[in-house]
Amino acid sequence: MSVGAGRGGPGAGPPQAGPRPLGGPLGVPDERGARWALLSGNFVIGCGVMVVAGTLNDLSRSLQVSVALAGQLIAIGAVVMGVCAPLLAGWVAGFDRRRLLAASLAWYAAGHALSALMPDYAALWPVRALCMLGAAVFTPQAAAAIGHMTAPEHRGRAITFVFLGWSLASVAGMPIASWLGETFGWRVAFGAVSLLAAASAVWVYRAMPDGVKPAALSLAAWREAFTHPVLMAIVAVTALQSAGQFTLFSYFAPYYRQTLNATPAQISLLFAWFGAFGLLGNVLLSRHIDRFGAARCVALTLCLITLSLLAWPLATGFATMALVLVPWALGCFATNSAQQARLGLAAQALAPALMALNTSAIYLGQAIGAASGGVLLSHSGYTQLHWVGSVWMFAAIALSLWAGAHARRPQ
């Protein structure tokens, strides 16, 4: 029995309205168009989140700060997103999602444009922090909106489809950001994200239908979500695996340059390689998650990431690094997509809260990983990053298996 299926579980409560039929004549937006628009929004959000990691070399050089300090921009943005995603979810509950999602992307565009104009690190970090409020709103609310619009039997696939945008960001956005940063500087890369966000805001506004408002949750429902041990364990899995990945992922660009002596072109190629397999992993997940089950898919993706972290010392050159990255890339973005679908299927009545909490866990995990990685980098270089990341991943695997076992028990 799934979580919340029994009496008194998180799925209990007043019946939820079914998905509102979309589409029709006279150019009314349909569900398919909305899915693609939300995918584009997640692509832009992913590009903006990862632009710091992709341009870390030039950020450090041009702002005259250490790599470890420049990397804390990742942690700062992640803390803002992690803390604000659930808080803002309650505040925006009554907003029409068409206007809310378009406005959040417009805010994101303005924030990246202002960031590109900041003269030094002290001026940049608070602007960056405010900019990431757009990401704190968009990602969880896009997932909740598409889940509300989609029939239950297709909900898992719909949610993972819009999360393909993150994989596409790793395929195209991060390599391009890295190339722009190495060639023209980080300010150009930030400006490119701003233009993409503005275009995506227009697309989302035109493609989304009016009247999409997932049911607002009461304080009692939030309390129910926070106090359910299995659901909170699933959310904690997201935080643990995100911390494990970003302990090392945050510092890919300087690692490639300083340890592998990679050229700017090789750095961009490694990011593109990682992104291509990340996209493949998410596509495979989207096609098969409803058949194999979200919990099994999560276990597989976590094991793939852990395999790469354990094999990290074997990557002594460009070719061996490319091989070691493959399992990690296949699991990287697919893990977050599978976790969102897992929560959406476990307790649909609490989906808006759970999506926000899970998004918060993604970003808080990123903050923990980037911050702890920066501390390790300052004291012992790159040698310990993959081992610490592996410890986080083993904890995530153990907790995910526990949650899966308890979710199947009658409530």
The residue range of the domain holding 243 is: 31-407
Please state the pTM of the whole predicted model: 0.72
Mean local confidence (pLDDT), 19-24: 41
Task: Indicate whether 3 belongs to any domain.
Answer: no
DSSP result, 146-200: HHHHS-GGGHHHHHHHHTHHHHHIIIIIHHHHHHHHHHT-HHHHHHHHHHHHHHH
Distance CA 352, CA 246 (A): 26
In the prediction, which pLDDT does 30 show?
Answer: 64
Position with higher pLDDT, 16 vs 308? 308
Q: What is the CATH number of the domain that holds 174?
A: 1.20.1250.20
In the prediction, which pLDDT does 11 show?
Answer: 38
Q: Is the pLDDT of residue 354 over 50?
A: yes
Task: Indicate whether 354 belongs to any domain.
Answer: yes
Position with higher pLDDT, 113 vs 287? 113
Work out how many domains the chain is built from and give that number.
1
- Which range among 39-48, 148-157, 332-341 has the greatest average pLDDT? 39-48
Task: Indicate whether 311 belongs to any domain.
Answer: yes
Mean local confidence (pLDDT), 394-398: 97
For Cα atoms 261, 279, 38, give the angle at the middle one, nearest 5 degrees: 125
The pLDDT tens digits for 203-238 are 999 999 888 777 666 677 778 888 889 999 999 999
In the prediction, which pLDDT does 325 show?
Answer: 97
